[in-house]
Copies of this chain bind each other. A is one copy, B any other.
Amino acid sequence: MDQRPVGVFDSGVGGLSAVRELRKLLPSENIIYFGDTSRVPYGGRSPEILLKYARQDVHFLRSFDIKAILVACGTVSTTCLPILRRENDLPILGVVEPACRRAVQVTKTRRVGLIATAASVRSGAYEKCIGGLDPAVEVIAKACPLFVPLVENGRYRPGDTVIETVAREYLEPLRQTGIDTLILGCTHYPLLMDVIGSVMGPAVTLINASEEAAWDLKRALRDGGLLSPGPGGEATLYASDQPSDFRTVAQQFLREELHKPVLPVDIDRY
């Protein structure tokens, strides 16, 4: 039993979809979230810069007495996790591995689809991870670069012509490859579950990377005897920059109202 909070970070607001899953799965846990909104997106950065940013993000979270970290950023999960783990004496979990593990369990056709940002697709990290788990599983990847800006502009609801047109164009060719499992490899995509599901049809299982990561964290806390005894935990949000619509967008990801202010962080100081 351990009442210390869990730390979660991402390059921006997307990681709040993981916070949402944690709140559902682990309602007794306190959560400290940091969104590095002043330096978003991480996708196009060099490995050196990424590691510098990730270390600062961890350093900030560790300025609180936290018991574990969830790296809710696909790019950091695929590039820096081993180093961060070596440098820190607490459990650090990412979003890529849990989704891959689940996909390999679920697929029957041994053909798994992956949608993600262009940077994540280019990294080849999902293919590598799935290849390590089961070399017989084929991964068919498709970058969906417009999904993030569309979601951040509130266009994720079924019935919106714009998101539905874009989703059909991205996903229809993927559907035709005969995949039976699709990894939503970006923390923005859980908001598109309904839109993506209606293009892919009921025969394709959608894997929500944020949800799988939350399950993974739950297991890690339980196995380490680190679960909080309760009562109800709460999430405290920090961000390195807050554009005018930050609150609205954050609430869409959390699917709950924010009752406390989002606190500012000067991340260059960490």
Q: Which of A145, A162, A166, A241 has the most CB of B within 10 A?
A: A162
* Identical copies in the complex: 2
Residues of the B chain whose Cβ atoms lie less than 8 Å from the Cβ of A118: 243-245
User: Using a Cβ–Cβ cut-off of 8 Å, how many residues does chain A contribute to the interface with B?
Assistant: 22
Bound CA–CA A122/B243 (angstroms):
10
Q: Which of A37, A44, A118 has the most CB of B within 10 A?
A: A44
Contacting pair A44 B243 (CB below 8 A): yes
A interface secondary structure, majority: loop
Q: Which of B44, B153, B241, B245 contacts A146 (CB 8 A)?
A: B153
The verdict on A45 contacting chain B, using a C-beta distance below 8 Å, is yes
The verdict on A38 contacting chain B, using a C-beta distance below 8 Å, is yes
Q: Mark A144-158, 1 if CB is under 8 A from B, else 0.
A: 011001100101000
Bound CA–CA A165/B164 (angstroms):
12
Residues of the B chain whose Cβ atoms lie less than 8 Å from the Cβ of A176: none
For residue A148, which residue of chain B has the nearest CB?
A: B149
Residues of the B chain whose Cβ atoms lie less than 8 Å from the Cβ of A245: 118
9 nearest A-B pairs in the assembled complex, by CB-CB distance: A149-B149, A162-B165, A162-B162, A161-B165, A146-B153, A44-B241, A145-B153, A162-B166, A146-B149
A interface with B by C-beta (< 8 Å): 37-38, 44-46, 118-119, 122, 145-146, 149-150, 153, 155, 161-162, 165-166, 241, 243-245
